[in-house]
Chain A
Amino acid sequence: EPEVTQTPSHQVTQMGQEVILRCVPISNHLYFYWYRQILGQKVEFLVSFYNNEISEKSEIFDDQFSVERPDGSNFTLKIRSTKLEDSAMYFCASSESPSGGLETQYFGPGTRLLVL
């Protein structure tokens, strides 16, 4: 069964450093998402991406964050200058199409980011 994959599984970085989290969505999917979960808290929506542009973003997704689909398979989340509070599990997800919200989103295993 096709799966969303994410690399790395764990990332440790120093405050102020840039990090790039990578995701490979399911191959025929067109809609991509990033979510994060701070330890002990809810999974929170960050951004959705369709047709090479951001379609929705939350208040969390400020100027420090950016997303990109650099080629036909990868979908990346960049944090420009990491802060301690960016420490979280970051989940990538994909779905076949927007379909007005009916479609299922398929999630990757997550990248655990620790900012020191």
Chain B
Amino acid sequence: AQSVAQPEDQVNVAEGNPLTVKCTYSVSGNPYLFWYVQYPNRGLQFLLKYITGDNLVKGSYGFEAEFNKSQTSFHLKKPSALVSDSALYFCAVRDPNTGNQFYFGTGTSLTVIP
């Protein structure tokens, strides 16, 4: 069965420090992996996706994510966190063999401390 795990409900990081938001997945085939961010009272905003090719994917607002097939992970990273990065982050996976629906993680709340 397809699933996504975000092991940390909350991540705190000091402004200027690197940040990592973790995601692991389980799908039957080759996954399509996505990261979305949700700011208060806003919809889920697309950050980046991995479909195929280079394992390091760069996205919006300076974020990047690394696809690691052996560890079935797709951790979100940013070299230098900003206070404005504080938001709720969702990892999602789509198994192209089973349709177009997303399977989401439970979300990780990121707080960047000034």
Contacts and interface: CB of A to CB of B under 8 A. Distances in A.
A102 B46 contact: no
Nearest to A46: B101
Interface residues of B, number: 26
B38 to A, nearest CB: 8
Interface of A: 3-4, 6, 9, 31, 33, 35, 40-45, 48, 55-56, 58, 91, 93, 95, 98, 100-102, 104-110
Interface stretch (B64-72, B75-83, B102-110): B102-110
A56 B101 contact: yes
A79 to B, nearest CB: 19
B34 A104 contact: yes
Contacts of A91: 43-44
A101 B49 contact: no
B51 interface: yes
B5 to A, nearest CB: 10
B101 A45 contact: yes
B102 A4 contact: no
Given A31-B100, A45-B101, A98-B100, A108 B43 contact: yes
Nearest to A4: B43
A93 B102 CA distance: 11
The 6 lowest CB-CB distance pairs between A and B, nearest first, are A107-B44, A43-B104, A45-B101, A107-B43, A101-B96, A109-B43
A80 to B, nearest CB: 22
B80 to A, nearest CB: 25
Given A3-B43, A44-B104, A107-B36, 6 more contacts: A4-B43, A48-B99, A56-B99, A56-B100, A95-B100, A101-B32
B90 interface: yes
B14 to A, nearest CB: 27
